[in-house]
Structure 1
Amino acid sequence: MSQVLPVVGSWRKSSRCESHNCVEVARRSGEVAVRNSALPEDQVAFSAAVWQDFIAGVRAGEFDLR
């Protein structure tokens, strides 16, 4: 089992989330962690560079449904 690093600060979720089942993000040492608020023990993490590329793609519309 891999070790889960502690988060820096706190978990954040969108202000648009109106349920208990939301995506949350948090910073960890050198990476960004993502989890479902309904399943907080299940987390995935990405390097800061990969996360920045993902956010740039979202802003550029790369993942918009057509």
Structure 2
Amino acid sequence: MSTPELHWFKSSFSSSSEPGDCVEVARTPAMIHVRDSKTPGTSHVTVASATWESFLAYVTE
């Protein structure tokens, strides 16, 4: 089984005050991948889409 290439983008929740301090996100149909923009070649966190939506709802309350 092949893994699709991830297309990373800056999270809209990242601060624009420090250009190097942001979170990047890549979406696939069932999963959300999250990484630190300062270390793009290293590991990232992967969570289910529903988990990510719950997290965003919690932090934006």
Name the CA distance, whole Å, in 1 between partners of 2:54 and 2:33: 15
Per-residue CA deviations over 1:32-60 (Å, capped at 9, x if unaligned) read 11001111122111100000100110122
Q: Report the counterpart of residue 30 of structure 2 in structure 1.
A: 30
Asked whether the 8 Å contact 2:25–2:33 carries over to 1, the reply is yes
Segments of 5+ residues of structure 1 without an aligned counterpart are 61-66
Name the CA distance, whole Å, in 1 between partners of 2:3 and 2:36: 15
CA gap of 1:34–1:50, structure 2 versus 1, over 3 A, is: same
Instruction: Report the structure, 1 or 2, having the larger strand content.
Output: 1
Q: Report the counterpart of residue 63 of structure 1 in structure 2.
A: none
Please give the TM-score of this superposition, normalised by the length of structure 2.
0.68
Superposition misfits of 4+ residues, deviation over 4 angstroms: none
Q: Report the counterpart of residue 43 of structure 1 in structure 2.
A: 44
Asked whether the 8 Å contact 1:31–1:47 carries over to 2, the reply is yes
Identity %: 33
Structural mapping, 1:8-19, within 5 Å: 9-13=7-11, 14=14, 16-19=16-19
Please give the TM-score of this superposition, normalised by the length of structure 1.
0.64
Segments of 5+ residues of structure 2 without an aligned counterpart are none
